[in-house]
Structure 1
Amino acid sequence: MARMPLYDAAETVTSKSFGDLPEWDLGDLYPAPDSPELARDVEALEQAAQGFASRYENRLADLDAAGMLACIEEYQQIDILAGRIMSYAGLRYYQNTTDAGRAKLLSDLQNRVTDATTPLVFFSLEFNRISDADYEAVFTAADGPARYRPVFDRMRAMRPHQLSDELEKFLHDNSVVGAAAWNRLFDETTAGLEFDVDGETLGLEATLNLLTDHDRARREAGAKALAGVFSRNVKLFARIHNTLAKEKAIEDKWRKMPSPQHGRHLSNHVEPEVVEALRNAVTAAYPRLSHRYYTLKARWLGLDKLQVWDRNAPLPTETPKTIGWDEARATVLDAYAGFSPKLAELAEPFFDKGWIDAGVKPGKAPGAFAHPTVTTVHPYVMLNYLGKPRDVMTLAHELGHGVHQRLAAGQGELLASTPLTLAETASVFGEMLTFRALLAKTTDPAQRKALLAGKVEDMTNTVVRQIAFYDFECKLHAARAEGELTPDDINALWMSVQAESLGPVFEFMPGYETFWTYVPHFVHSPFYVYAYAFGDGLVNALYAAYEDGLPEFQSKYFDMLAAGGAKHHKELLAPFGLDASDPAFWDKGLSMIEGLIDELEALEG
């Protein structure tokens, strides 16, 4: 993996035309990879974990309320130390995954942190053996750890699936050569892929970006280049998925998990029937949403059938537009400020303090994310900014995550982390604010149509596509339980959900069956993808409440974000008069997408 993907000269020049794209300043974590501060913290982590274990192992059940509070707060400080170290190593690595030095630092620190934290494995295991009566007494006492109860309620939900101390320690130690190693192989492979498009050599991100090009021939060339490279590498990706799915199945069997998805639902603090209601509502709406919209799009493009490279194509009347970084920043911050000046103030430092890494660079990880690091520092946002309108929406999305993470940090390390089902709330809301602000300023009918269509496509990608992804994962894990899957087996599962979700207007080129290979969520976070659809549906319902003028909406919204993981989704949504366990809740969100399609059809008239 020493060879770096190449970018053509035109790509480099274009990226410069966006203005000064910011890069991360990781100095708030550590000054340098060889800094004494980093070495000191690694040693401090090792000593703190050993000291914690010697003080508390085999003693948790005997602690009184004040003693348990002190124990939990000491554990939280160790968590911050480990999180700070791994955040620094991970962020440096994602800036250039093909750099051998960065990969080595990540691997070495991962090993050191894993070894250092092995003595802590006892904590959750022993905690879950505390009797219900003692647990209740300690966590309801005035001088006790009552505020941390949501964390430990979730931990105790794992009690039926807990293994022996010895086995749990083995799994902890083994993780660096298990899923983590396969994750890293996937990341390094995708970062190193090169695609020949009309004589230009591009990386994955730049090639995927071609699928939104105005030139249909260029889109087709990009799609075929992707298909060719994915097909040549499909055996490796099939091996990664086979191994990870089997590893998960083995662990799930030992833990007596009733389904492959159950662990994700537990960690998300969401009931399986709520996820099933979401999934069923979306799949039932395919004809009313994606099938209907893509039929409209085929007519706009003058085509009887759409090819996969037409799915995210701009409209024919849409003027190609490159948006500079300064304009993107102003657009998002103005939209945020229109909702509340406080929202814009929370987002501002990301631009000014080196909290965003925006440029497309050789070896840089594809996609975009917001990483919370630890609550004593601040989040960092990664983008691959290419000046497209969708990139502005991605900026709005990731800044929403960043703002959410900043607000939730007040809860402290253990309570700040938001379950995945609610983690997309602020990001999708930020996108919606930006979209509505842009739409309100747009009077030209062609531009308005392009904006509406773009939003429908984003929502379709967030809801329809992600539920199709979820169904693919469910099928993949079920099939893997019956035996090893060939690349053709996995390809067939992928195509079954694509045809169902996209509808009859699509034709699928040879090679599209391999497009499951590059989706990182299947590798890094099994069954994560439904959280996007959950978040979109939740935000659509929230936004409807905002538009209806719900009293004190802004303050309620900030309270919800600041709660982090301290409350269940029922508690968080109650002030807005919403309940995700009500099957009708999801239809509210889906009806908003239908309403936008109605508006597009009206523009046709």
Structure 2
Amino acid sequence: MKNHIKMPVFDADATTGKGFGDLPEWDLSDLYPAPDAPEIARDFTALEETCAAFAADYEGKLAGLDAAGMLECVLRYERIDLLAGRLMSYAGLRYYQNTTDAGRAKFMADAQDRVTVATTPLVFFTLELNRIDDAALAALFAANADLARYKPVFDRMRAMRPHQLSDELEKFLHDQSTVGAAAWNRLFDETMAGLEFTVDGEAMALESTLNLLTDPDRARREAAARELAAVFGRNLRLFARVHNTLAKEKEIEDRWRKMPSPQHARHLANHVEPEVVQALRDAVVNAYPKLSHRYYALKARWMGLDKLEVWDRNAPLPVEPPRTIGWDEARATVMEAYKGFSPDLAHLAEPFFDRGWIDAGVKPGKAPGAFAHPTVTDVHPYIMLNYLGKPRDVMTLAHEMGHGVHQRLAAGQGELLSSTPLTLAETASVFGEMLTFRRLLAQAKTNAERKTLLAGKVEDMINTVVRQIAFYDFECKLHEARRGGELTPDDINALWMSVQAESLGPVFNFMDGYETFWAYIPHFVHSPFYVYAYAFGDGLVNALYAVYEESPEGFEEKYFDMLRAGGSKHHKDLLAPFGLDASDPKFWDKGLSMIARFIDELEAMED
């Protein structure tokens, strides 16, 4: 069931959201008119009744169904998924608009409880399907083409066969999920949303303070970094407790399921082979010296510094004039870039701006960062931003719009086949960013403007590739260490610092307190090992874009076919039309070489 929101969060931005024009807000009425609407009560009742009826009709009987009967069963299951997804999408989106509102928090928690209880009778479905013999299932697919279309759904379920527990244990895990990881996730979200930081006498939330790390004033950046460290430090025992508990819970479930590694469940969910992820990780780590180490040494020279401090990492360049970009300009920039690639792409993006599908402003209690949530296939996606008029905010809009367009195209696959694995879910988003960047670069009027754009893109790519793989290594170390016992805050701090110098390079000093900065990264809490998907997506898109530049003829049609496929095909099948193969270790070097070439160009621009 789609009972959670995927919430990618970036290393960035937010203050007040004023002065950028008329920022759009969500209109959630396409899901439900209001939190007390009778349609919500109706759908909860319908969900409970349809789940009970489904179990009564099918439990203990799946192995005896013919092809037509199995198809009807799958279609009924899909309709239930649609109903539960609509309820939880509405509850979740309202909550993320203001995570400190007790009423919204209660509404989401109650909805989660009701959906969990209602869907408990469905736990048998996956368990029984996985007990059907391979040959018997293959015969059903051969007998009915409409059923065979759902084969990828069955394949994903059956990937868990070696790790399946007894029916009773699976039902127990399903029932207790709302007081397990989900409860700790809420505690983390609400704690983060409620933190207050004071910089130069001004009280602000997390996003506002992180935004100051990109301020042109170095003293203000330092003050923000030190205040972040101080506040994280005061709350570190709580964050350590959250991570210890979640890592231990995962270790227990992984042990019972006989998972070979803490990362394995994520690889299964992403439909990607562990060796492919390892090849990606190794390629990026081996490239640290020619990417991040080289770029940050260059940046230090631009800034006239022997050493960079952590508050200089995302600092604007000295040649970069401070610039605020209004919402209308941001919209026009992204839409023109999308239209330049394909008018159809721009047409798919347009409703987001005009129909209340974007929530852009920074507001008290609003979740940090940005995401695109697909909701359900008979509605549409919603995009959340914290827009502050920075050039990076325009890139974030381009990124999330890519997700939204991808989700709209994949919706044609239906509820069970539309969801794209995380490794491929970043494809359209990163491609949208690249289109926008290339358009801006082509329009640059001076060398200084071109240098600023190139440096910004390199920093974004380093944040997406180098930084996320360093995050992945930190998680691997954290979960491995937790298997040996409880971790103190100092233990976790040490693991964090063990990946920082390696990934960022010798040009950095690390202030006292930076060791606590693991505390605010939500992916570690919400989605363990999610982060490598960003690097996967960036590398994949760099390779795709190289194909586009070399032979644009016919590329658009193949690209749209890939997005429309959603989760119906494996990454090998999706990339084959482009002549690409992510299982080839050289594939990742191709993507990383694009970043290196941008750094080459920046080095050549030095006076």
> TM-score category by the smaller chain?
over 0.9
Paired residues of 1:295 and 1:505 also in contact (CA < 8 A): yes
Q: Please name the residue that 2:347 is paired with.
A: 345
Distance 1:136 1:15 in 2: 55
1:13 Cα deviation (Å)?
A: 9.9
State the one-letter code of the partner of 1:247.
Answer: E
**How many Å separate the matches in 1 of 2:487 and 2:145?**
55
Q: Secondary structure at the match of 1:270?
A: coil
2:19 to 5, 17, 20: 17
Corresponding residue for residue 244 of structure 2? 242
The CA distance in 1 between the partners of 2:15 and 2:402, in whole Å, is: 30
> What displacement does 1:154 show?
1.2
Q: 1:35 aligns with which of 34, 37, 59?
A: 37
What are the residue-to-residue correspondences of 1:139-538 with 2, within 5 Å?
139-142=141-144, 144-538=146-540
Q: How far did residue 15 of structure 1 move?
A: 2.5
SS of the counterpart of 2:144? coil
| Structure 1 range deviating more: 135-144 or 304-313 | 135-144
SS at match of 2:198: strand
| Helix, strand or coil at the partner of 2:389 | coil
User: What CA distance in whole angstroms lies between the structure 2 residues aligned with 1:508 and 1:439?
Assistant: 33
Q: Structure 1: how far apart are the matches of 2:226 and 2:15? A: 25
Distance 1:258 1:582 in 2: 23
**Aligned residue type for 1:299:** R
The CA deviation at 1:142 is 2.9
User: Could you tell me which residue of structure 1 aligns to residue 98 of structure 2?
Assistant: 96
CA contact (8 A) 1:410 1:562 kept: yes
1:564 partnered with 2:563: no
- What is the CA–CA distance in structure 2 between the aligned matches of 1:142 and 1:297, rounded to whole Å? 60
| Per-residue deviation, 1:150 | 0.6
1:555-596 Cα distance to aligned partner (Å, 9 max, x none): 000000000000000000000000000000000000000000
Aligned residues: 595
Distance 2:159 2:117 in 1: 26
Deviation at 1:14, TM superposition (A): 6.2
Partner SS, residue 117 of structure 1: helix
| Matches of 2:91 and 2:145, distance apart in 1 | 38
Amino acid at match of 2:350: E
Q: Shift in Å at residue 144 of structure 1?
A: 4.9
Q: Over aligned residues, Cα RMSD in angstroms? A: 1.0
Alpha-carbon offset, residue 133 of structure 1 = 1.4
Distance in 1 of aligned mates of 2:184 and 2:16 = 35
8 Å Cα contact 2:142/2:148 also seen in 1: yes
Does the CA-based 8 Å contact 1:68-1:144 persist in structure 2?
no
TM-score, scaled relative to structure 2:
0.97
SS in 2 for 1:15: coil
Confirm or deny: 8 A CA contact 2:581 2:587 kept in the other structure. Answer: yes
Aligned partner letter, 2:334: V
Unaligned runs of 5+ in 2: 1-12
Conserved in 2, the CA contact under 8 Å of 1:550 and 1:576?
no
Secondary structure (helix, strand or coil) at the match of 1:543 reads: helix
SS in 1 for 2:114: helix
Aligned to 1:4: none
Cα offsets for 1:121-176 (capped at 9, x unmatched)? 00000110011111111122135510000111111010000000000000000000
Cα displacement (A) at 1:443: 2.0
Task: Indicate if the aligned counterparts of 1:213 and 1:313 stay in contact, CA closer than 8 A.
Answer: yes
Partner of 1:8: none
TM-score (norm 1): 0.98
Matched to 1:228, the amino acid is A
Q: One-letter code of the match for 2:301?
A: R
Once residues 137 and 181 of structure 2 are traced to their aligned partners in structure 1, the CA distance between those partners, rounded to angstroms, is: 33
- CA deviations on 1:77-121 (whole Å, 9 max, x unpaired) are 000000000000000000000001000100111100000000000
Superposed CA offset, 1:409-441 (max 9, x none)? 000000000000000000000000000000000
**Counterpart contact for 1:65–1:143, Cα < 8 Å:** no
Give 3-state SS (helix, strand or coil) of 2:203's partner: strand
Partner Cα distance (1:347, 1:215) in 2: 36
Letter in 2 for 1:196: T
Per-residue Cα deviation, 1:476-517 (whole angstroms, up to 9, x for no partner) = 000000000000000000001011000000000010000000
**1-side partners of 2:401 and 2:16: how far apart?**
24
Q: CA deviation digits over 1:184-203, x for unaligned, max 9?
A: 00000001110000100000
